[in-house]
Structure 1
Amino acid sequence: MKNTKLFILLALGSVVSSCNKDFLQRNPQTEISPEAYFNTPKDLDTYINSLYDKQVTAPTNDESSDNISNYPGSTMELLVQKNITPATVGGWDNWSQLRSVNFMLDNVRKTQGDEALIKHYIGIARYFRARFYFSKIATYGDVPWYSTALSDVDQSMYKARDPRANVADSMLADLSYAAENIKADAGNGTRVNKYTALALMARFCLFEGTFRKYHPEAPQQNVDALLNKAVWACEQIMNSGKYRIYSTGKGGEDYRALFCGPTLAGNPEIIQWRDYPQSLGVGNDTHSVLGWTWSLSQSLVYSYLTKDGKPFSSVPNWDKLDFVATFKDRDPRLAETVSYPGFSTNQDANLYIPKPNLGGYDQLKFYPRDPKQRQGWGANYTGLPVYRYAEVLLTLAEAKAELGTITQTDLDNTVNQLRSRVQLPALAMGIAVDPFLDAQYKNINNPNKGVLLEIRRERRVELACEGLRLNDLNRWYAGSNLKAMPQGMYVPAFGGIDMSGDGNADIAILPNPSDTSSIAGLPADVRAKMSRFYLADKDGKENNFYLENGTSGHIMFTVNRNGREFIEPKYYYRPIPLQQTVLNPKLEQLYGWKQ
């Protein structure tokens, strides 16, 4: 009989990343002997439940992407400032999640009972393994594939990277098994079901297919096969009749309900969600999205259409409009994503005033609107989507556009379902190329370029702050967007600025505390109440932001004053931490990260 503690280490330990000297001396948190466990489907259910918290995530921001104007210390900021090296980088430290999954799969052969139920739980475990490897491929490219929890801690653990294409094939085998064997109705939507597996399959196949298409250093085979598989997975979900876009005719409010309500149970758009019930005291930190560390970017704000379906760049002086004017007559999703003039956190006369030192466009999406849902850190009670039907529709539209098979019927069944919810005009085939979008994605060679660009726009605004944007930029080989200097709102001149829309100045941007000449003519009561922000302190030390043209222009950030660099293809990947390559010399650095 194998030692019980060894099995615990295999289930709960880490592969290479946590092979610190003291790791093998740590006591297990839970004693699980496979001889006394994994005997019945109930055992599998109990074990699977223990995997959910770490394996099922619901992102609420787009950190490290061009949807963020300023996020001090983010991975992307460190990267473009050349402050990431194998010696300084983190990551590669969550292999215990994979070990836990493989531990179950190694021992499930002894389980007795309902065969279909056993396959259901095996399918969930294989779904979790595929989800784990999706993150690894997206971050590192080639990675070691482990299909078993190793039975001994020896050199067999220290594998070299496996080719990306091989890992992707293994992932798709896992997802195919999962989609075939997981029950269609599992729990109340918070548990993995058949359509969860199909949603992940669609997401990954679109990612991998377009990554290979646009990246010359990536495997070039099976691009169309992957995109067609994405279409197939989407069609399985769409044809099931289980899901539809949530719309009650309230436009932006219907969109808001997907991110701020106390529950998502019964919402027809939600394929899977995370529950944070106040009755059980299980909460999240979604209040922190609003003005805590970051704001959203001018680039994102400019991406939203006007309410009549035209690009914002068609509005006269569009790139020189002040904060209030920027929100006028726009796609309703803008005011559900970015804190708008007149917003109140407590739904009363006390208006929220964004901070220009973060960029001015504070994130509103995911912020709990009802004050009763906000009780402090770890005490926000909102249901959060993991997969929603809107992404499935966008995936199908993009995959078909990339394949060159998209039709007006496809647009009506996908993108136009989303536009209809917020009362925007429909997208039509043959639309002209928008120069604003064309400048962001210069490597598209597609006869449907105008439509493809609009699908990318729709994906950006519909899925903003849901944690998908960085992978989108990476797969499109759009590193130029990450190299570009992030910008916040436009400031016409030094002096008072109306941020609430009531015609009175709420803040003032001034050169320094001594130079207040630009607000001298304002009424005394207005000057007394306004918040003041300075480009430099009394000693001349620069603040964290400045104005693009010195005394006017978009808000810029001093950390980027000397520019940003994005080295292709190197920066589409991350290096493995140096200590891990020392522990395992077979792990080579790739894509220019070798020192």
Structure 2
Amino acid sequence: MKKTSLYIALSAAAVFAASCKKDFLQKYPKTEISPDAYFNTAKDLETFANTFYDKDYSYDDTNSDNVSYYSSSGELDALLEGNIDPTTVGKTGWDDWKKLRTYNFLLDYAHRASGDTVGINHNIGVARFFRAKFYIAKLARYSDVTWYSHVMTNVDSALYLPRDPRAKVADSIMADLNYAISNLKPEDNGNRTRVNKWTALALMARFGLFEGTFRKYHSELGLTDKAAPFLNAAVDAAQQLIAGGKFKIYSTGKGAADYRALFSSPTLNGNPEIIQWFDCQQSLSVGNNSHTVLGWSWSVSNSLVESYLMTDGTPFTSQPGYKTKGFVDVFANRDPRLAETVAYPGYSITNDNRLYYAKPNLGGYDQLKFYPRDPALRQGWDANYTGMPMFRYAEVLLNLAEAKAELGSLTQQDVDNTINQLRDRVGMPKLIMGTANGAPDQVMANAYPEVSGANKGVILEIRRERRVELACEGLRLNDLNRWAAAGRIQDAQQGMYVPALGGIDMSGDGIPDIAILASPTDTAEMNTVPLSVRYTISRFYLKDASGKETNYYLDNGRSGRISFTRYRDNPRKFVAPKYFYRPISLQETVLNPNLKQIFGW
């Protein structure tokens, strides 16, 4: 009897969660069990809420300045080349409203449940958490967007509403998160794969910082004077989470290995830094594709590589001749997180003497972070079995530090309790506010000219720390957008520096491991390569045998930094403020004429 009841409950949940992609807002879920009969207990709500969870994690920063090359399908490339408009943008980012319908379905019928009040309110909090997260993504992409608080039907005139103002949407998100924080249980049986109070606080800290800084740096919104309440909300949420005492930076004294464990372990259960994670297990037939980060279709950008400090705490960009350092020298005496993020000289996929050599046609700085280090954990497409972090304590600390710095209330004690905990883990020198503000790094200041004020130097260093600590975790483009960092988005990214055509040492033993040559018919530089490896090393060409250019070139001709012909032949241009947002597909505005484009779209 119990098995039959569970089957009916799960079947009902699955049917309720499904909807036609074309008219998901209008269709009423069809099932033999009506929602009036189904939503009777907290357990019913929980069973339905379990359908909300999916693979909502990220292990790359494609479409941002942290990546040196990605496929021609990248939206950011198309945008900056002028190829995005309402007729070409498609429905990506707009076609997931069926998720909202599912969240609202639970909220519309939750009132029917009775009994366990705490459990009922917890599951309502789960639905409101997911609705808030859904709208945060919409706000980031479209700014003004229609807020739907109930399931729409095919006779509901609300289907044809105009966009709601950003301020209303942001306030509605805050209301959902405040409810979630007040009603979600503080634990999920200790495994942290489900939404709980701490997850909601982490999302509030993230969103408060996002919206507060977006308003501060985007005058086109007319909301600059209303930024502080969101920054204060970020501070309050982060401090509540910290005060809860449930989390801390994962550090066992192993430095870089502790940082690595967050992204390549078979399980994150019990890791004190993880607030929420996604469990990938072979026994559950649930895997991921994290192996694709290494040398498949992108590399990490030189811009990101240059952001990592030297081990003495000084900027890499203050080193003499930093612009022309070769691959091996770039990794010498650097923040240990660099070699955990980028495939370093001497890295072996198989953990033996068979070394990995990056592909110059992708830039040369291949991403290592999230790559399963244990070969037993990577078994093919959708068959990697490493835990995927979704919210971690390190981000909360970074959010707190940045929000307080932007509010002008940051102290050295705050820096020690946030930024310096991250640096301590990997043995990096502490950040000192007085030093940072007294002499801001000029390279960082040039990169972010929008930053000013007494805390300019420390804000710049917090941005550096955020970029380094959270590299390849899918947050970078939203960071650039909220900072109004148009120049960083517009930049054509490059790869490693190549001092000359011919052999290149990629392992640090002084022996060439690959060769970059002008073409298959122009191989004179191979004469400088030792005979012992001349005919066995991998060769890469700037032009093919017919004289046609490949996808990359060296910016000085026969030497220089790896650059991409796509960017040279299609100059990138950022149109502000228009490009901080995306247009709505023309098809959608035809279906609902009340949906109007904004900011020049």
Q: Normalising by the residue count of structure 2, what TM-score does the alignment of the two structures yield?
A: 0.94
Q: Residues 213-268 of structure 1, C-alpha deviation per residue, up to 9 Å, x if partnerless?
A: 00011233421111111000000001111100000111100000000000000000
CA distance in 1, matches of 2:398, 2:282: 33
SS in 1 for 2:174: helix
- Residue of structure 2 equivalent to 1:210: 213
Contact 2:347 2:356 in 1 (8 A): yes
Query: What is the CA deviation profile of residues 310-348 of structure 1, one whole-angstrom value per residue up to 9, with x for unaligned ones?
Result: 100122211110000000010000000000010011101
1: CA distance, partners of 2:558 / 2:194: 54
Q: Is the 8 A contact 1:11 1:149 kept in 2?
A: no
For 1:486, which of 474, 488, 493 is the aligned residue?
493
2-side partners of 1:256 and 1:30: how far apart? 47
Shift of 1:18: 2.6
| Partners of 2:33 and 2:62 in 1: CA distance | 38
CA contact (8 A) 1:8 1:30 kept: no
Contact 1:68 1:486 in 2 (8 A): yes
Equivalent-residue separation in structure 2 for 1:19 and 1:498 (angstroms): 57
Q: Which residue of 1 aligns with 2:366?
A: 362
Task: Assess if the C-alpha contact under 8 Å between 2:15 and 2:31 holds in 1.
Answer: no
Confirm or deny: 8 A CA contact 2:301 2:493 kept in the other structure.
Answer: yes
- Over aligned residue pairs, what C-alpha RMSD do you find? 1.9
Matching residue of 2:9? none
Of 211, 223, 226, 1:222 maps to 226
Report the AA paired with residue 185 of structure 1.
E
- TM alignment of 1:163-562, pairs within 5 A: 163-187=165-189, 188-218=191-221, 219-430=223-434, 431=436, 432-562=439-569
In structure 1, distance between residues paired with 2:289 and 2:555? 33
Partner residue of 2:49?
48
- State the one-letter code of the partner of 1:89: V
1:13 Cα deviation after fit:
2.9
Kindly state the Cα deviation for residue 86 of structure 1 after the two structures are TM-superposed: 1.0
Question: Structure 1 residue 534: deviation in Å?
Answer: 0.9
Q: How does 1:123-202 map to 2 (within 5 A)?
A: 123-187=125-189, 188-202=191-205
Cα gap change, 1:495/1:580 in structure 2, threshold over 3 Å: closer, same or farther? same
The residue identity in structure 2 corresponding to 1:66 is D
For residues 115-138 of structure 1, the C-alpha deviation after alignment (integer angstroms, 9 at most, x for no partner) is 111100000100000000000000
Match of 1:3 in 2: none
Contact 2:125 2:183 in 1 (8 A): yes
In 2, Cα distance between equivalents of 1:180 and 1:355: 50
Partner of 1:80: 80
Segments of 5+ residues of structure 1 without an aligned counterpart are 1-5
Conserved in 2, the CA contact under 8 Å of 1:544 and 1:557? Answer: yes
CA distance in 2, matches of 1:122, 1:548: 56
- Please give the per-residue CA displacement for 1:28-58, whole angstroms capped at 9, x wherever unaligned: 68665212211111100100111111xx611
Q: Is 1:568 aligned with 2:571?
A: no
1:12 aligns with 2:18: yes
Distance of 1:510 and 1:521 partners within structure 2: 12
Tell me, in whole angstroms, the C-alpha distance in 1 between the residues paired with 2:15 and 2:277: 30
AA partner of residue 289 (structure 2): D
Moved more, 146-155 or 300-309: 146-155
Query: What are the superposed Cα offsets for residues 244-303 of structure 1, whole Å, 9 maximum, x if unpaired?
Result: 000011110000000000000000000000000122221110001100010010000000
Structure 1 residues 192 and 9, CA, compared in 2 at 3 Å: closer, same or farther? closer
Paired residues of 1:357 and 1:545 also in contact (CA < 8 A): yes
**Is 1:576–1:589's contact at 8 Å kept on the other side of the alignment?**
yes
Instruction: Check 1:372–1:328 CA distance in 2 against 1; reply closer, same or farther (3 A cut).
Output: same
Distance 1:163 1:405 in 2: 30
Q: Larger deviation: 495-504 or 196-205?
A: 495-504
Checking the alignment, whether the CA contact within 8 Å between 1:10 and 1:149 is kept in structure 2 is no
C-alpha separation between the residues in 2 aligned to 1:28 and 1:235? 42
Q: Which amino acid aligns with 2:450?
A: N
Does the Cα contact within 8 Å between 1:8 and 1:28 map onto a contact in 2?
no
Tell me the distance in 2 between the aligned counterparts of 1:116 and 1:462. Answer: 37
What is the distance in 2 between the residues matched to 1:383 and 1:484? 33
- Counterpart Cα distance in 2 of 1:9 and 1:387: 29
2:217 and 2:224 in contact (8 A); partners too: no
Give the conservation status (yes or no) of the 8 Å contact 2:16–2:30.
no
Q: Which moved more, 1:348-357 or 1:211-220?
A: 211-220
Q: 1:23-102 residue pairs with structure 2 within 5 A? A: 33-53=34-54, 57-72=56-71, 73-90=73-90, 91=92, 92-102=94-104
Contact 2:13–2:51 under 8 Å retained in 1: no
Residues 105-120 of structure 1: pairs in structure 2 closer than 5 A: 105-120=107-122
Confirm or deny that 1:587 pairs with 2:595: yes
Distance 1:50 1:401, change over 3 A: same
Alpha-carbon separation, structure 1, partners of 2:41 and 2:382: 35
Q: How far, CA to CA, are the matches of 1:581 and 1:47 in structure 2?
A: 32
Structure 1 residues 119 and 541: CA distance shift in structure 2, 3 A: same
The CA distance in 1 between the partners of 2:62 and 2:338, in whole Å, is 18
Contact kept in structure 2, 1:494 and 1:511, CA below 8 Å:
yes
Residues 460, 469 of structure 1: 8 Å contact kept: yes
CA contact (8 A) 1:12 1:99 kept: no
Aligned amino acid, residue 535 of structure 1: L
Q: In structure 2, how many angstroms separate the alpha carbons of the residues matched to 1:340 and 1:250?
A: 18
The answer (yes or no) to whether the contact 2:26–2:152 under 8 Å persists in 1 is no
User: Secondary structure at the residue paired with 2:503?
Assistant: strand
* Cα distance, 1:497–1:32 mapped onto 2, change above 3 Å: farther
Distance of 2:285 and 2:18 partners within structure 1:
27
Output the TM-score relative to the length of structure 1.
0.95
d(CA) in 1 for partners of 2:109, 2:238: 33
Conserved 8 A contact 2:502-2:529: no
Checking the alignment, whether the CA contact within 8 Å between 2:26 and 2:154 is kept in structure 1 is: no
Cα pair 2:551 2:566 within 8 Å, conserved = yes
Is the 1:509–1:533 Cα contact (8 Å) retained in structure 2? Answer: yes
| SS of equivalent residue, structure 1 residue 532 | strand
Please say which of residues 144-153 and 29-38 is displaced more in the overlay.
29-38
Can you give the 5+ residue segments of structure 2 that lack an aligned partner in the other structure?
A: 1-11
The whole-number CA distance in structure 2 between the counterparts of 1:202 and 1:29 is 38
Q: What does the per-residue CA deviation read over 1:462-505, in whole Å, with 9 as the maximum and x for residues that have no partner? A: 00000000000000000111111211001111111111112111
Task: Give a deviation string over 1:135-186, Cα, whole Å, max 9, x none.
Answer: 0000000000000002434443122100001000000000000000000012
